């Protein structure tokens, strides 16, 4: 029992794979009944969330290093080991994953009409790959999990998506595989540099943090490695202008694919910046922070403006993700405690609120088989419960105070303002635009005349749909009202990251120049 309730990362990571065999066995006993298959997968995913809870309850708030670590020699001659652990940066991404998956399974209960067994197996495989990405502390282990995420997501989009699903799946795969290939080259270079400098082979992240790479511009060793990792993570986020695969993937993916994409998968990119890019290449990070910050701001405003022009409700939510993720990246690039705290908090908040929006869009799509905003209107009259949940998710997405989105956005803008009030103003403009397009979309869908005959006979949310939305709403409110239990676990790790690699000047200066001067490399 202690193995289950002690926060065992190996068990948490691989339990979904174990669950696949259990579910297949149960399914065979019940003559491959789809009902029993779905119930079995749901139980496995709920148990996975339960055994991950000790990561939160037993996490030591005052300790900034890795916790729940496990390390086993693997390829010893190459310096590769099975090394896992979590800190304040990765803790809530693991918990977000284990929380989102059962909600996603329940949300697509009746949506998949063919290949249900394979679909559920792919969902559990994807959960293991995602968790493994967030807990891996060996670069080869990390890369294996990072790449493993591509396979189930490719099939989920390509098999169960809509009309242009093959195009979207291939585009998603090619974009992310290209970035990963460049990152792998940089990983090998770091490996050989560590062996040269320290005399022994290691792929452990903690060892590679100590590798000294000369930096003298983008074409220097540190600059090139920085660029390789940057492209891999920027594509996965995705940052502007590498974002074009995301709207296609979201729109063509089934509801489960969209929820996992928005809720967890995109956080692999933002997590990569914090775990690898900043600590491995601090000098290059500082040098290119102004350019990256401007790109993040462009992503915020561009995503908001394109979302405003959308006629497809799902594509609108997809472009809102581009805007929100731009804000998260801006918070990372200011390199101060408030910005990083806010970005990590906003990763989780975005996963909940945008995941909820995709679930709700999926629910209305199952009823009307269309996502065009013009096909709706007056839904609040026939679907009042749906309207309430959609409003809560919308308000959380735009950062209404007392809901989860407000805390992260406030901290990010506070951190950005301390570095550059000009960028803070542009970032806030993006938030204002976000409120405009989200509320306008809500108004067009929920209010106005109920003039479509098909809309007049729509059924409101059933008990299953209400039950899957309630946990998300509870977390949205809890994170908005009482952020302390989350932030006190995040902040020590953020402080350690900054103090180990950067010296942040917290006082204002007289100059109006780029905020690069506020960040000094140690």
Residues 6+ apart with CB under 8 A from 47: 15, 19
Residues 6+ apart with CB under 8 A from 64: 87, 88, 492, 493, 495, 496
Residue 196: predicted pLDDT = 92
The rounded distance, in Å, linking the Cα atoms of 145 and 139 is 10
Q: What is the mean pLDDT of each run of 10 residues along the chain (522 residues)?
A: 69 93 80 80 94 94 91 90 94 96 90 84 94 95 94 92 88 90 94 92 92 86 93 92 88 89 90 93 91 93 91 91 93 92 95 94 90 90 94 94 93 91 89 91 89 87 93 96 94 89 42 39 35
Task: Please give the structure tokens belonging to residue 376.
Answer: 């709706």
Residue 275: predicted pLDDT = 93
CA distance readout (Å), 410 to 141, 331, 339, 413, 427: 35, 10, 9, 5, 11
φ, ψ dihedrals at 400, nearest 5°:
-65, 135
Helix (H) or strand (E) holding 45: helix 34-57
Angle between helices 139-148 and 116-135 in degrees, nearest 10: 160
Cβ count near 458 (within 10 Å): 17
Residue 26: predicted pLDDT = 78
Residue 240: predicted pLDDT = 87
Q: Cβ(247)–Cβ(465) under 8 Å?
A: no
Q: Cβ(68)–Cβ(9) under 8 Å?
A: yes
The rounded distance, in Å, linking the Cα atoms of 228 and 460 is 49
Residue 217: predicted pLDDT = 82
Residue 30: predicted pLDDT = 73
Q: Cβ(225)–Cβ(190) under 8 Å?
A: yes
End-to-end Cα, the chain, rounded Å: 46
The rounded distance, in Å, linking the Cα atoms of 519 and 380 is 50
Strand partners, 81: 73
Residue 452: predicted pLDDT = 86
Q: Show me where the domains of the chain are located.
A: 1-280, 281-522
Residue 191: predicted pLDDT = 94
Residue 504: predicted pLDDT = 39
The pairing of strands 67-75 and 519-521 is: unpaired
Is the peptide bond prior to 138 cis by the omega test (within 30 degrees of 0)? no
Residue 507: predicted pLDDT = 34
Nearest to 444 by CA among 377, 360, 392: 377
The owner of tokens 């995602």 is 130
Tens digits of per-residue pLDDT, 356-397? 999 999 999 988 888 899 889 889 999 999 999 999 999 999
Three-state DSSP class for residue 376 = coil
Triad 148, 149, 152: Cα angle to 5°:
95
Query: Sign of the C-alpha dihedral, residues 382, 386, 391, 392?
Result: positive
Residue 38: predicted pLDDT = 87
Nearest to 258 by CA among 149, 387, 354: 354
Three-state DSSP class for residue 520 = strand
CA distance readout (Å), 14 to 10, 48, 51, 81, 114: 6, 9, 12, 17, 26
Nearest to 51 by CA among 103, 92, 106, 98: 98
Residues 6+ apart with CB under 8 A from 485: none
Helix (H) or strand (E) holding 481: helix 463-481
Beta strands of 301-424 (E only): which ranges?
none
The rounded distance, in Å, linking the Cα atoms of 133 and 131 is 5
CA distance readout (Å), 44 to 22, 304, 322, 356, 472: 9, 38, 32, 22, 19
Residue 2: predicted pLDDT = 53
């Amino acid at each position: 029992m202690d193995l289950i309730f002690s926060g065992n990362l190996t068990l948490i990571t691989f339990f979904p794979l174990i669950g696949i065999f259990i579910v297949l066995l149960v399914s065979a006993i019940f003559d491959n009944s789809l009902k029993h298959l779905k119930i079995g997968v749901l139980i496995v995913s709920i148990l996975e969330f339960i055994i991950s809870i000790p990561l939160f309850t037993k996490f030591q708030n005052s300790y900034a290093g890795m916790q729940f670590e496990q390390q086993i020699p693997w390829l010893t001659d190459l310096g590769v080991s099975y090394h896992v652990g979590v800190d304040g940066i990765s803790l809530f991404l693991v918990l977000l994953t284990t929380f989102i998956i059962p909600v996603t399974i329940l949300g697509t209960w009746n949506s998949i009409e063919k290949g249900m067994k394979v679909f559920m197996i792919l969902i559990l495989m994807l959960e293991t790959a995602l968790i493994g990405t967030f807990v891996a502390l060996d670069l080869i282990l990390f890369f294996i999990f990072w790449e493993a995420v591509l396979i189930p997501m490719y099939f989920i989009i390509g098999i169960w998506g809509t009309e242009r699903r093959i195009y979207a799946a291939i585009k998603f795969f090619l974009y992310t595989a290209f970035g990963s290939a460049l990152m792998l080259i940089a990983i090998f270079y770091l490996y050989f540099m560590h062996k040269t400098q320290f005399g022994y082979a290691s792929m452990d992240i903690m060892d590679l943090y100590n590798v000294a790479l000369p930096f003298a511009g983008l074409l220097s060793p540190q600059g090139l490695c920085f660029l390789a990792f940057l492209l891999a993570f920027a594509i996965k986020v995705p940052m502007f202008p590498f974002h074009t695969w995301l709207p296609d993937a979201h729109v063509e993916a089934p509801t489960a694919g969209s929820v996992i994409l928005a809720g967890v998968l995109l956080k692999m990119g933002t997590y990569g910046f914090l775990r690898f890019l900043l600590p491995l290449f601090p000098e290059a990070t500082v040098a290119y922070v102004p350019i990256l910050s401007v790109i993040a701001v462009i992503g915020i405003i561009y995503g908001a403006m394109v979302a405003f022009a959308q006629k497809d409700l799902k594509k609108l939510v997809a472009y809102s993700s581009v805007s929100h993720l731009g804000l998260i990246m801006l918070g990372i690039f200011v390199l101060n405690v408030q910005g990083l705290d806010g970005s990590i908090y906003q990763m989780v908040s975005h996963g909940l609120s945008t995941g909820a929006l995709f679930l709700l869009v999926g629910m209305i799509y199952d009823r009307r088989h269309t996502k065009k905003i013009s096909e709706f209107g007056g839904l609040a009259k026939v679907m009042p419960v749906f309207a309430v949940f959609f409003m809560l998710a919308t308000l959380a997405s735009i950062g209404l105070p007392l809901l989860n989105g407000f805390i992260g956005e406030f901290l990010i803008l506070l951190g950005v303002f301390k570095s550059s009030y000009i960028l803070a103003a542009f970032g806030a403009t993006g938030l204002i635009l976000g409120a405009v397009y989200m509320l306008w979309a809500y108004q067009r869908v929920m209010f106005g005349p109920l003039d479509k005959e098909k809309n007049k006979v729509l059924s409101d949310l059933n008990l299953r749909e209400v039950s899957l939305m309630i946990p998300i709403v509870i977390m949205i409110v809890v994170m908005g009202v009482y952020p302390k239990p989350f932030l006190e676990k995040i902040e020590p790790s953020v402080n350690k990251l900054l103090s180990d690699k950067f010296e942040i000047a917290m006082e204002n200066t007289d100059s109006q120049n780029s905020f690069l001067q506020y960040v000094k490399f140690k």
